[in-house]
């Protein structure tokens, strides 16, 4: 009997030890808050037909607050934006959701398979809404004409260390609060291979078909070359396409220099990026000066079009524009 009791005691202690060890190994849930603010000076009232950084003089960008919770298997993200840049980013939202940039929950079915539902920023394109993650402060035509965000459900699958697949069922582009009555849903697909991404967005009532490539390559320890190409068409005879290169050179921990060379063409009707069918070529050069969490970005942008698509500061039609701006971005 004593031997049996001793065996039971040893087993109980061993079970308690294993249980305690397992609890210690489980990652603790975390709640975090991050965000940014940005403000800028723009030298001219004239502007290209792109989103953001489009106000003259000393102007606000946006305040961005991102709250996230990460549990063992699940979590959520709430991303709120305030200010002109935020308003432009969520233009098809309404009511209390007109400050919501992202709001989604996710569940990790395994280490390589995640299901996400809610409102999330688009998977297409090289640039994003937050200026913190973009090297150039102003944005490209390809980014400006979308999409910005989606609401829906998506599955992200890591196929290997170098390959990934995303499949999604989505509302009509940029209708993030709800699906418009009578509209068909859209399909999103992303295939990632060695840090390069092929994206597809299609379907919906308008019969959208957009193919997008986003990637880049390190050409040295300090030199990176990004690339983006996209083509879009739908049943409403809206068509556009573009191609951009993003060379960036890091001189030190506190200074880098980058550029964007973009060629953009609009065909068909309804987009009105340039006003009528035509071509635009833009060259943007941006400096990035970093001190702690503060980034200062002086930038020169020059746009040249195939016809007089723009109006200068005096309201006169012109086929070229030049703008100087400097932005201050603080992230936390």
- The SS3 assignment for 244 reads strand
- Does pTM surpass 0.95? no
Q: Where are the domains of the chain?
A: 28-331
Task: Pick 28-331's CATH classification: 2.102.10.10, 1.10.40.30, 3.20.20.140, 2.40.160.10.
Answer: 2.40.160.10
Helices (H), the chain: 2-25, 84-89, 141-144
Under 8 Å between Cβ of 241 and 209: no
Beta strand ranges found along the chain (DSSP E):
30-42, 57-70, 74-82, 100-110, 113-121, 149-158, 163-170, 186-193, 196-203, 208-218, 223-233, 238-250, 255-268, 278-291, 294-305, 310-311, 317-318, 320-331
The pLDDT tens digits along the chain (332 residues) read 433 344 444 444 444 444 444 445 566 889 999 999 999 999 987 777 888 998 999 999 999 999 999 999 999 999 999 999 999 999 888 777 889 999 999 999 999 999 999 999 999 999 999 999 999 999 999 999 879 999 999 999 999 999 999 999 999 999 999 999 999 999 999 999 999 999 999 999 999 999 999 999 999 999 999 999 999 999 988 899 999 999 999 999 999 999 999 999 988 665 566 656 788 999 999 999 999 999 999 999 999 988 887 777 777 888 888 999 999 999 99
């Amino acid at each position: 009997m004593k031997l049996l009791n001793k065996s039971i005691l040893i087993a109980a202690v061993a079970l308690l030890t294993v249980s305690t060890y397992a609890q210690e190994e489980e990652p603790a849930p975390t709640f975090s808050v991050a965000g940014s603010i940005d403000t800028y000076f723009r030298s001219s009232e004239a502007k290209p037909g792109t989103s953001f950084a489009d106000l003259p003089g000393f102007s606000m960008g946006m305040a961005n607050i991102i709250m996230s919770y990460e549990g063992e298997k699940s979590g959520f993200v709430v991303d709120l934006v305030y200010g002109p840049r935020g308003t432009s980013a969520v233009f098809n939202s309404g009511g209390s959701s007109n400050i919501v940039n992202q709001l989604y929950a996710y569940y990790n079915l395994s280490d390589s398979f995640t299901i996400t539902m809610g409102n999330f920023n688009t998977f297409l394109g090289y640039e994003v809404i937050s200026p913190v993650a973009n090297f150039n402060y102003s944005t490209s035509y390809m980014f400006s004409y979308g999409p910005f965000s989606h609401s829906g459900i998506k599955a992200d699958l890591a196929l290997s260390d170098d390959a990934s697949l995303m499949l999604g069922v989505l509302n009509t582009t940029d209708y993030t609060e709800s699906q418009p009555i009578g509209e068909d849903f859209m399909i999103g697909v992303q295939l990632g291979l060695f840090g390069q991404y092929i994206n597809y967005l299609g379907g919906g009532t308008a019969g959208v078909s957009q193919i997008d490539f986003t990637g880049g390559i390190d050409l040295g320890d300090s030199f990176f070359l990004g690339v983006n190409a996209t083509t879009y068409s739908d049943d409403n005879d809206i068509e556009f396409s573009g191609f951009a290169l993003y060379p960036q050179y890091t001189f030190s921990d506190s200074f880098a220099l980058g550029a964007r060379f973009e060629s953009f063409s609009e065909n068909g009707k309804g987009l009105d990026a340039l006003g009528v069918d035509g071509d635009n070529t833009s060259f943007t050069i941006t400096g990035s000066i970093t001190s702690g969490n503060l980034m200062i970005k002086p930038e020169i942008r020059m746009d040249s079009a195939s016809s007089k698509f723009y109006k200068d500061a005096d309201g006169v039609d012109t086929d070229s524009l030049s703008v100087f701006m400097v932005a201050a971005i603080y992230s936390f």
